[in-house]
Structure 1
């Protein structure tokens, strides 16, 4: 990503000049900020002008706003910006915290030139691949097929797979984490508990299809099924406090469509990118 716009947020003039000279020699466009508040202001100005920074390099310990606080605000404004954290702290927990907040990488100070350029090159390459995927998204449908024994411990991993692929298709990450885990937990738990009766020789099958318009999740068990007409209406206030209807209520909040097959052992869940619930 040569010619990329780089914002360096660093209170050390010596480190500022070192980074500027290095990156400009590699044809990066560099802007400097002495502290987190100034860096955030410059970053916001770039977004308003329609020219967001491609890369932010920030020190962790600075007067006023810390680099980790800046990292969180930058990712909230534009999750696609590459953020590299500079830290003189030898404590690995600082690096882990930065990565958990969305940093693409971190460098220990004082970093050497080769290491800096290598980290930026790898981060930029990942960004380019992401943008190429975005261009293909309208013509892509991602499919996932999962078969698990009737054990509850496998449920969490299902949500992780769905969210990872849906993010690549451009779905909102916050919305995904709000809706997918609780829906999958209810749907697959019901299949294991009520469908397969916890019989580990019976499997639960989860098929997911994700395109730019909707996420479709089909959960099937090997149980005898049930009378679909006995499913309580989740929108009826009389059913809100009934334990038997609570799972259906949770899924109806997270999904736009819920359907059972006639036998009652296959559940289809659909979430649209633009929810009909929000369209008046």
Structure 2
């Protein structure tokens, strides 16, 4: 099946290469340079996948768009300090055509995008005031876990939040991913998963959100209690709390926020 891609790239590092790759695979690709152009683009929901890679704070305007436009697939608008260098990268597949849904097809598309970006666009970051926003929105597909989480952990390591050799970050992200796809959305490909990361030199903030019914975090049995030693429930939540520095659930229980701080930040508290 031919897929339709929209690539928003203000520095052309990603769009030109991916356009060639996807054209060779028989897909349709449209490229534009700014978020504002995407806002003005009609029927953005006709694209199966929208990829945004912005390296210019001016490309993320702090204006409110018309309510008539469907901008869910674009990076969120936010205020920022003049001294901060903001980057925004997002893959949105919430409008992915799910007729005869093939999870492996979506997995291969995500791997192609992330491998290309990691190999030809990303680099070790030494900017003091860099803040990087990374977002993924996609149908519930457990097979996307490795490529998405591997990309996130590599960015956190390269920006300098954690030491890759001594970090258990991937384990916490793995638990959050599985909880969203398996326990939250119950593998229903008609429901979406949303993952967001905001990474700076001081910390990495992660949000995992599913479209399931949620759960009562307080009702989870404590796996450290002798009476629960042979129960499997609760161990993932305990792992997340042990690895991350901050963990918060919303009232419904379908949105998890986690923070991992640098050793310097933890020492300053």
Q: TM-score normalized by structure 2? A: 0.49
Higher Rg of the two aligned structures: 1
More helix by share: 1
Q: Of the two structures, which has the highest relative contact order with CA contacts closer than 8 Å and spacing of 6 or more?
A: 2
Q: TM-score normalized by structure 1? A: 0.47
